[in-house]
């Protein structure tokens, strides 16, 4: 019996096993001349295959292990975290300041009362909020408390005045027995506890001529204003009607002192 060892390769070129050729005993077929025919001897093949399962399993385990490894993400140090927090708060502060400026410029502004001219409604050092959009969407009403720029003829170093609207454009205002008359009709003023009079009994300035008259016809585009403290107020009785274009807005709430908060 003849043995022959052949090395078998896989398609990838890696040795895949050993093939052992075993020649069976017996007489080989003969050619007509009695010589054996080449390549006709029965051969029993026995294959011994190398076991690669262990290597393959190890490779799979390595792949799984590499996938299960923790990936550590670097954390920012305390200095970076502090810097980021400071930047965030700075952005918040800038946005808040910008919003406050926009509100102050176009919507609402707080004012303090510098004198006693609006007593007993408002006292010196009170704080009020003024709505700057009031007259963009509505008309001025008699009795409104308004803030307006200092008229050219007014004295003192105060830039903004706060008074109450008493007469509207086109109306005639006069006084009789301490009461205000609008177009000859009595005008009730519950917020005034003192008689109302002209300065020295007469208006000192108005659209009428002469300058000192006993009544005033309020021109278009203006309003006639007075302080609630009629004896201690410098108002339209002195410097004349106020241009509507000079009005900042309407005071709508008193917010200081805290014990006297309320709408105006």
Residue 146 pLDDT exceeds 90: yes
CB-CB contact of 137 with 131 (8 Å) = no
Distance CA 38, CA 198 (A): 148
H/E/C letters for each residue in 111-157? Answer: EECCCCCCCCCCCCCCEEEEECCCCCCCCCCCCCEEEEECCCCCCCC
Would you please indicate which residues are annotated as catalytic (active-site) residues?
117, 163
Runs of H (alpha helix) within the chain: 53-68, 78-106, 236-239
Alpha-carbon span 161 to 150, nearest angstrom: 6
> In this predicted model, what pLDDT tens digit does every residue of 30-51 receive, in sequence order?
444 444 444 444 444 444 444 5
Task: Please confirm whether the linkage preceding 161 is cis (ω < 30° from 0).
Answer: no
Q: What is the pLDDT of residue 196?
A: 65
* Burial class for 204, CB neighbours closer than 10 Å (0-12, 13-18, 19+): middle
User: What is the average pLDDT across 195-203?
Assistant: 55
Q: How far is CA 40 from the centre of its chain?
A: 97
CATH numbers and ranges of domains, the chain: 1-30+37-52 (no CATH), 109-263 (2.10.109.10)
pLDDT at 127 over 90: yes
Assess whether pLDDT exceeds 70 at residue 141. Answer: yes
Round the average pLDDT of the chain to a whole number and report it.
75
Q: How confident is the model at residue 245 (pLDDT cuts 50, 70, 90)?
A: very high
Identify the residue with better confidence: 258 or 144.
144
Mean pLDDT of 252-264: 91
pLDDT at 246 over 60: yes
Mean pLDDT, residues 83-100 taken together: 88
CA distances from 35 to 1, 24, 62 (A): 18, 18, 59
Full-model pTM: 0.61
Q: How confident is the model at residue 104 (pLDDT cuts 50, 70, 90)?
A: confident
Whole-angstrom distance, CA of residue 191 vs CA of residue 228: 7
Q: Which of 41-50, 127-136, 168-177, 251-260 is predicted with the least confidence, judged by mean pLDDT?
A: 41-50
Whose structure tokens read 């086109």?
A: 170
């Amino acid at each position: 019996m003849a043995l022959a060892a052949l090395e078998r390769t896989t398609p990838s070129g890696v040795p895949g096993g050993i093939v052992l050729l075993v020649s069976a005993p017996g007489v080989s077929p003969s050619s007509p001349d009695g010589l054996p025919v080449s390549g006709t001897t029965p051969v029993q093949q026995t294959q011994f295959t190398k076991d690669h399962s262990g290597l393959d399993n190890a490779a799979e385990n390595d792949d799984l292990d590499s996938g299960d490894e923790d990936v550590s993400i670097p954390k920012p140090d305390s200095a970076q975290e502090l810097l980021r927090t400071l930047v965030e708060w700075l952005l918040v502060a800038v946005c808040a300041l910008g919003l406050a400026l926009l509100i102050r410029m176009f919507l609402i502004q707080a004012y303090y009362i510098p004198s006693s001219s609006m007593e007993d409604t408002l006292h010196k050092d009170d704080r009020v909020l003024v709505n700057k959009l009031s007259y963009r969407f509505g008309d001025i009403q008699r009795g409104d408390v308004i803030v307006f720029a200092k008229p050219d003829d007014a004295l003192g170093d105060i830039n903004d005045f706060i008074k109450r609207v008493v007469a509207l454009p086109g109306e005639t205002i006069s006084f009789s027995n301490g009461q205000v008359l609008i177009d000859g009709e009595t005008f009730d003023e519950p917020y005034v506890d003192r008689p109302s009079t002209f300065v020295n009994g007469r208006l000192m300035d108005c659209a009428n001529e002469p300058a000192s008259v006993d009544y005033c016809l309020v021109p278009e585009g203006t309003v006639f204003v007075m302080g609630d403290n009629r004896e201690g107020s410098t108002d339209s009785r002195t410097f004349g009607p106020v241009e509507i274009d000079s009005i900042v807005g309407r005071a709508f709430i008193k917010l200081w002192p805290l014990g006297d908060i309320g709408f105006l």
